[in-house]
């Protein structure tokens, strides 16, 4: 786990449970003419110490963020590289190595450079994280990268889950990463006017939008049989994956599309909705998303909706676009394991249009039997994961 609120699982979880956010003024790009200055940048990480100079030359920031997260996840799994030789690697990223493109294209167009480094293409490709991981650990199984905007790594984890549950592979490393802080990309978001000038306040009155974040997250998935055979510590069970497309507007969220994905995840996992206790929401903090998402939850859960905990951890780690799903899946797993529901931070007061228990500002101690992690992307592509507490 690498994020603005922690560069390892424990620090990430401690920040989430304390309601600490990672927003500061953006330092990685010039924001002087933007309508926002805040972002959730990864702090206190030395890429120089983590990667040798030869590797760094080939790695965009987004790929390094994924590789660091994957190293931690693999170490935590207790699996040796040889045991992952046949595993799948599935990653998600919305932007790939756009920081590299931004930097090199500026040199080409603005500074008059005539040549671009041959490292540009391998640094920029969206599958760089997956490819470098397979090389690093000698993993020869299926490898692929999905790009579905803000749902990228949720789709990646879901597809990896299906590869394992269908018996295509016994193990998979799945997640994603994003490094969105380049001047060109920040200017593009400025024009969309979806970014809050201060803090994201999901589901709260007074919310003005999302705030961008960066990071990387990875999970090691393993068939239950294999995990039990080797006596692995089970943090949670991934039991269902649902997808849908809004078939509506390219940026406007749809309650109907979100509801369809929520239902699909429950059906895939044969989960009774009465057993769902927590939803780690998409919860961007834009006025439209949060209302549509609450409507979708109410439509799917009926009376149960008012008894669910629904929190947005984007209020702390920021909207890390294609990496969000991986960070939030991890938060969901940790919520089940630690019997604590992370809060929605920066919450001011309830919005009558978001009439759910959004766990404002303070974590709650609560046992979670089943939890969902939702991602509803621009473009109307939706993905939901269902996690359950492992059997005692």
Partner 1 sequence: MSDALASKVIAAIAAVSKRPIEDVKLESTFGELGIDSLNGFHLLCELEEDLGIVIPDDDARDLRSVGDVVEKIRPLVEARSS
Q: Is 250 in the site for partner 1 (CB under 8 A)?
A: yes
Which residue stretches of the chain are H helix?
A: 9-18, 47-50, 53-58, 61-77, 98-109, 120-124, 128-137, 152-165, 183-192, 224-229, 255-268, 287-301, 314-317, 324-338
Q: Is 252 in the site for partner 1 (CB under 8 A)?
A: yes
Say which of 21, 155, 185, 282 is annotated catalytic.
282
Q: Is 32 in the site for partner 1 (CB under 8 A)?
A: no
Q: Is 113 in the site for partner 1 (CB under 8 A)?
A: no
Q: Is 205 in the site for partner 1 (CB under 8 A)?
A: no
Q: Which member of 54, 111, 191, 270 binds partner 1 (CB under 8 A)?
A: 191
Confirm whether 139 is a catalytic residue. Answer: no
Part of the chain binding partner 1 (CB under 8 A), chosen from 24-32, 126-134, 244-252, 308-316? 244-252
Q: Which member of 27, 35, 43, 117 binds partner 1 (CB under 8 A)?
A: 35
Q: Which member of 155, 201, 208, 260 binds partner 1 (CB under 8 A)?
A: 208
Q: Are 175 and 91 contacting, i.e. CB atoms less than 8 angstroms apart? A: yes
143-146 vs 88-92, strand pairing mode? parallel
Question: Which 3 state secondary structure label does DSSP give 87?
Answer: coil
For residue 390, the 8-state DSSP code is P
Instruction: Give the residue with the Cβ less far from partner 1, 206 or 302.
Output: 206
Number of residues that bind partner 1 (CB under 8 A): 13
- CB neighbour list of residue 54: distance below 8 Å, 6 or more residues apart: none
CB of 325 to partner 1, least distance (A): 23
Part of the chain binding partner 1 (CB under 8 A), chosen from 142-150, 191-199, 294-302, 314-322? 191-199
Instruction: Give the residue with the Cβ less far from partner 1, 35 or 117.
Output: 35
Mask: binding to partner 1, 129-158, rule CB under 8 A, as x and -? ------------------------------
Q: Is 248 in the site for partner 1 (CB under 8 A)?
A: no
CB of 24 to partner 1, least distance (A): 20
Q: Is 121 in the site for partner 1 (CB under 8 A)?
A: no
Instruction: Give the residue with the Cβ less far from partner 1, 192 or 348.
Output: 192
Q: Is 249 in the site for partner 1 (CB under 8 A)?
A: yes
Closest CA relative to residue 363, chosen from 42, 3, 13: 13
- Taking 3-state DSSP, the helix, strand and coil percentages for the chain, each rounded to the nearest 5, stand at 40, 20, 40
CA 218 to centroid of chain Cα atoms:
9
Q: Is 43 in the site for partner 1 (CB under 8 A)?
A: no
Q: Is 193 in the site for partner 1 (CB under 8 A)?
A: yes
Part of the chain binding partner 1 (CB under 8 A), chosen from 75-83, 88-96, 146-154, 246-254? 246-254
Residues in the chain: 392
Could you give the CA distance from residue 345 to residue 314 in angstroms, rounded to a whole number? Answer: 9
Q: Is 197 in the site for partner 1 (CB under 8 A)?
A: yes
- CB neighbour list of residue 16: distance below 8 Å, 6 or more residues apart: 5, 313, 316, 317, 331, 334, 342, 363
143-146 vs 24-25, strand pairing mode? unpaired
In angstroms, how far apart are the furthest CA atoms of the chain?
64
Say which of 21, 132, 317, 319 is annotated catalytic.
319
- CB neighbour list of residue 213: distance below 8 Å, 6 or more residues apart: 3, 4, 22, 39, 40, 41, 314, 317, 318, 319, 320, 323, 324
CB of 226 to partner 1, least distance (A): 46
Part of the chain binding partner 1 (CB under 8 A), chosen from 16-24, 85-93, 230-238, 243-251? 243-251
Region for 295 from its dihedrals, namely left if φ exceeds 0, alpha if ψ lies in -120 to 50, beta otherwise: alpha
Say which of 21, 132, 139, 150 is annotated catalytic.
150
Q: Which residues contribute to the site for partner 1 (CB under 8 A)?
A: 33, 35, 191-193, 195, 197, 208-209, 249-252
Which residues does the annotation mark as catalytic?
Answer: 150, 282, 319
């Amino acid at each position: 786990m690498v994020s603005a609120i922690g560069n390892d699982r424990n620090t990430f979880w401690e920040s989430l449970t304390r309601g600490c956010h990672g927003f500061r003024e953006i330092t990685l790009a010039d924001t002087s003419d933007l309508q926002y200055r805040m972002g959730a940048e990864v702090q206190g990480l030395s890429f120089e110490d983590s990667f040798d100079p030869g590797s760094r030359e080939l790695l965009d920031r987004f790929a390094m963020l994924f590789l660091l997260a994957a190293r931690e996840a693999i170490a935590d799994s207790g699996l040796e590289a040889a045991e992952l030789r046949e595993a799948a690697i599935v990653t998600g990223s919305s932007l790939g190595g756009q920081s590299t493109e931004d930097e090199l294209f500026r040199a080409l167009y603005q500074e008059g450079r005539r040549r671009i480094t041959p490292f540009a293409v391998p640094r920029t490709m969206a599958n760089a994280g997956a490819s470098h991981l397979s090389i690093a650990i000698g993993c020869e199984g299926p490898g692929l990268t999905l790009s579905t905007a803000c749902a990228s790594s949720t789709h990646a984890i879901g597809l990896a889950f299906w590869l394992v549950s269908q018996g295509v592979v016994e193990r998979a490393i799945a997640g994603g990463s994003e490094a969105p802080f380049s001047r060109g990309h920040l200017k593009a978001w400025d024009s969309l006017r979806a970014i809050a000038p201060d803090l994201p306040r999901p589901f709260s009155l007074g919310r003005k939008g999302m705030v961008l974040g960066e990071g990387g997250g990875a999970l090691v998935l393993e068939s239950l049989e294999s995990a039990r055979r080797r006596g692995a510590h089970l943090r949670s069970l991934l039991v269902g994956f649902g997808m849908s497309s809004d078939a509506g507007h390219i940026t406007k969220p749809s309650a109907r599309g979100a509801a369809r994905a929520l239902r699909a995840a429950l059906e895939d996992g044969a989960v009774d909705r009465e057993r769902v206790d927590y939803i780690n929401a998409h919860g961007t903090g834009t006025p439209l998303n949060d209302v549509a998402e609450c409507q979708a939850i109410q439509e799917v859960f009926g009376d149960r909706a008012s008894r669910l905990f629904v929190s947005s951890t984007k209020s702390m780690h920021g909207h890390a676009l294609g990496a969000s799903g991986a960070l939030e899946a991890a938060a969901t797993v940790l919520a089940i394991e630690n019997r604590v529901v992370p809060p929605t931070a920066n919450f001011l007061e309830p919005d009558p249009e978001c009439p759910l228990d959004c766990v404002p500002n303070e974590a709650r101690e609560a046992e979670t039997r089943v939890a969902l992690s939702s991602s509803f992307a621009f473009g109307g592509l939706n993905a939901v994961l269902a996690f359950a507490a492992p059997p005692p």
